[in-house]
Structure 1
Amino acid sequence: MADHVVTFIGENENGILAELNGGYMRQLEPMGLRGHVIDLHEPNWADRLLPLAREGIRLAWGSAGIGATLSAGDGNLWDMLQVPFVSVLADTPCQLPVNHRVASRWVANGYLMEDWLGVQRRLIRSPQISALLPFAVLPNPFRERTPWARRPHRMVFVKTGEDPARRRAGWEGWPAGLRRALHDASEEAARRPTGDITDLVIEATRANGLHLEERLEILFALTYEVDQHTRALRSNAFARALLPLGALVIGRGWDHLDAAGARATLRPAIHAAELPGLYADTQYLVSTTPNFGGGVHERVVGGFAARACVVSDSNEYMRARFPNLGAFHGLDWTAPDLSERIAAIFHNSADRDADAAAGLAVAERDFAPGIFLQALVELADLVRAGNRLERFPA
């Protein structure tokens, strides 16, 4: 059988997809497969793909559906090549709904978050094969470089910032009914623990006399706004809690914070290639989670893989998965004493080396890249087999 595996990347901030997808491709050799990364922004990308197609491609994949809609003539490229393509989807469908419904029998949807698979099945109803993929993290090559107690960074928060007030101001141009729904859903989301906010938006539209399930473009536009606003509130709550501490905050978009008298250091964004080394020099990696309850953010397991402890808001999945893991400090982001709880962790002088080691063991056992890659191969093989069964029409 063909042994080439191709992943596609496109424009992305700070090179994160090039680093992640390239890292996974380097993990394929023990499986007898050869990985290739193709950047769709390179003018000669097709010249790299076609020789591989002639030799035989086992599967192709792309994060967020990058590469799923490539065309060949009037049709889809993967239909023409008869090569399975898996869209690895970690973002809410409201961000780019078209990537969750692709007109191809050779393109499958692989969801990393159970919430997003549920939203797609309830609202988008794609005829594609869809499945839940296991979440994984790449091994951190620097994880044993510096003992936990001697790491130079006490707390690090790597996150792009946004001022939620600026987003709310943008809602003033929306029609009155939609504007009311935006404010109602956002106020309710701000009172709840981390989780999917899709139903909150639907409930808010109905409460304002609107039924938008048949106009998904409007519903998803509203959901996107509430999603981004809630994520901004959450990350701002953590960033403000870190300002009085000797923490390190890395990322653009924090200009709206009043940093006068702050002890925290704010630095611009860095390239994704620098993150493994930074994480491995950190005692507590701080994270906030997008609006899902059925999964874990890569910063959390990335912290474990770096032999660091993690401070994060907590969702249903993490509360069930890490209830007794000392490396994980799960917090309620709506708690009035959030700042005090983060400060207490920061100032606790206990050596957490054993906790960090336990977190690393969880990353290596439960989130190994081979688990994800094997599931990717199996889903692609299912797509290939399914297209041989067309003689059994429904």
Structure 2
Amino acid sequence: MEIVLTLNWSSAYRSVRGLVLHLAARWREAGLELVELDVSGPGWADKLREILNTGKVRFVFSTAGVGTNLAMDGQNLWTKLNLPFYSLLMDHPAYFAANHRNQGKTVVLGYMFRDHALYQASDVRAENIVTSIDYGIPNLPVKPAPALAAQDKPKIIFAKTGNAPAALEQMWRGAPMLEAILHDALDELDFARKGVANVAQFHPLLNKVAAAHKIELQPFSHLSRFLIVQLDDYIRRLKSTAIAKAILPFEVDVFGTAWEHIDKTGARATFHGPVDYARLEAEFPNATASITMNPNIELSAHDRFFTALGAGSMPISDRNQYCETTFPELLPYMFDFTKGSIEAAVEHVVNKPADALELARATRTRTRDAHGVEQAADAILQTVQAARFLGAGPRAEQNFFVP
């Protein structure tokens, strides 16, 4: 049996490993065995050598760029072995830039969100195959609706790390010129009034604003990346803070750290702190709804949106183009960040929990064939096959084409 080798790392609540296991369930159906290697553990290099020496590895998979730059005899290991490596990247390329620049020629740069892949194609332009997936709805256990409907009150969960917007503003004061550029950009975004922001707006907006300060930004330069990350992180902090404040009057279970900036006096919401991903995933089948927050994207959705549907729970999510067009029946449970919008979406569940459950399960049934996690897993298999084909080098039929 051939192997999919995953190089693991320690992520928040081990959530990334949970996502990989959903993909691997499909790969097992294709006759592939999942072998996990913790590259932070003792003796990992020897274990890697043993696995590779079996000759059974179909491809290597990791997240956040882990292991892409391993070398042998001064050459990228995966290029030398002509072994496809699928690097699934959760972040915008402005974060952890080295993970997004040119990699070994058999490395695929696969983005969780197409918005980020499009920035890669326009500004970074790595020579690798660049692609993206919609994570899709996993096939999780679905608890019978009558059992959930019989609960005294609907169980609503919100899993998210917090962080205070004011902490970033304090940091910016160390460079007044950059602080001015960022505040000018924020004024033009006008997030407080519009209630939406998309990362695709940030770079052209920053180019315009910086030019007014006689700063000419270069594509994917240190300064460009810094400014994009500041806007992106700041807007995310505004969004998560707005959600946390809006749900305080509701009985919501909040899982995650860095909520110290929220005044919880008199709150009905309960802040539990961090939990392991396995515990969190076990909460989904018992939940009527799960509040989720997309990154600043328009062309896909956060994995927890899909996970909620997989468990038959209603995702209460900030709206974007993808969610609105792919799941239009869920619009009453979507929100933006204008006044009262979050509360209205939560109240739809609180007031009629049975209706929310029924609609979530009907949506799961309608969409899972076309938007299941299996489609993402299959796309990854097809892309790594292409990477192996391209990595093999010139062929007799066209020896004039040299990579």
Cα distance, 1:245 vs structure 2: 1.3
Q: Which amino acid aligns with 1:370?
A: E
Query: 1:234, 1:303 → 2: CA distance?
Result: 20
Tell me: CA distance 1:262–1:86, structure 2 relative to 1, closer, same or farther (3 Å).
same
Partner of 2:140: 140
Contact 1:142–1:280 under 8 Å retained in 2? yes
Partner of 2:361: 357
Partner of 1:30: 29
User: Helix, strand or coil: the match of 1:324?
Assistant: helix
Partner of 2:333: 329
Unmatched runs of 5 consecutive residues or more in structure 1:
none
Quote the RMSD (CA, aligned, Å).
Answer: 2.2
Query: 1:220, 1:146 → 2: CA distance?
Result: 50
1:164-243 equivalences under 5 Å are: 164-174=165-175, 176-189=176-189, 190-191=191-192, 192=194, 193-196=196-199, 197-214=202-219, 216-243=221-248
Partner of 2:97: 97
Contact 1:21–1:37 under 8 Å retained in 2? no
Partner of 1:156: 157
Partner of 2:66: 66
> Any idea what the Cα deviations from partners look like across 1:40-69, whole Å, max 9, x if unmatched?
101222233223322231111112222212
Contact 2:247–2:343 under 8 Å retained in 1? no
Tell me: CA distance 1:106–1:350, structure 2 relative to 1, closer, same or farther (3 Å).
closer
User: Helix, strand or coil: the match of 2:217?
Assistant: coil
Contact 2:82–2:392 under 8 Å retained in 1? no
User: Helix, strand or coil: the match of 2:225?
Assistant: helix
Q: Which amino acid aligns with 2:233?
A: Q
Cα distance, 1:256 vs structure 2: 0.9
Partner of 1:377: 381
Partner of 2:276: 271
1:242-281 equivalences under 5 Å are: 242-281=247-286
User: Helix, strand or coil: the match of 2:91?
Assistant: coil
User: Identity across aligned pairs (percent)?
Assistant: 25
Contact 1:308–1:359 under 8 Å retained in 2? no
Contact 2:142–2:312 under 8 Å retained in 1? no
Q: Which structure has the highest helix share of the two?
A: 2
Query: 2:157, 2:187 → 1: CA distance?
Result: 29
Tell me: CA distance 1:134–1:249, structure 2 relative to 1, closer, same or farther (3 Å).
closer
Query: 1:147, 1:356 → 2: CA distance?
Result: 15
Query: 2:146, 2:68 → 1: CA distance?
Result: 41
Q: 1:293 aligns with which of 294, 298, 302?
A: 298
Query: 1:370, 1:386 → 2: CA distance?
Result: 25
User: Helix, strand or coil: the match of 2:173?
Assistant: helix
User: Helix, strand or coil: the match of 2:108?
Assistant: strand
Contact 1:186–1:229 under 8 Å retained in 2? no
Query: 1:260, 1:325 → 2: CA distance?
Result: 32
Q: Which amino acid aligns with 1:36?
A: V
Cα distance, 1:337 vs structure 2: 2.2
| Paired positions, count | 390
Query: 1:76, 1:144 → 2: CA distance?
Result: 51
Q: 1:344 aligns with which of 334, 343, 347?
A: 347
Query: 1:187, 1:146 → 2: CA distance?
Result: 48
Q: Which amino acid aligns with 1:384?
A: R
Cα distance, 1:254 vs structure 2: 0.8
Q: Which amino acid aligns with 1:166?
A: A
Unmatched runs of 5 consecutive residues or more in structure 2:
none
Cα distance, 1:260 vs structure 2: 0.9
Cα distance, 1:147 vs structure 2: 3.4
TM (normalized to structure 2)? 0.90
Contact 1:68–1:85 under 8 Å retained in 2? yes
Contact 1:8–1:39 under 8 Å retained in 2? yes
Cα distance, 1:363 vs structure 2: 5.5
Partner of 2:4: 5
Contact 1:153–1:247 under 8 Å retained in 2? no
Cα distance, 1:201 vs structure 2: 2.8
User: Helix, strand or coil: the match of 1:233?
Assistant: helix
Cα distance, 1:368 vs structure 2: 2.4
Partner of 2:51: 52
Partner of 1:80: 80
Give the stretch that moved more between structures: 222-231 or 23-32: 23-32
Query: 1:186, 1:163 → 2: CA distance?
Result: 16
User: Helix, strand or coil: the match of 2:95?
Assistant: coil
User: Helix, strand or coil: the match of 1:290?
Assistant: coil
Q: Which amino acid aligns with 2:373?
A: P
Tell me: CA distance 1:187–1:29, structure 2 relative to 1, closer, same or farther (3 Å).
same
Q: Which amino acid aligns with 1:15?
A: R
Q: Moved runs in structure 1, 4+ residues, more than 4 A?
A: 142-146
Tell me: CA distance 1:83–1:339, structure 2 relative to 1, closer, same or farther (3 Å).
closer
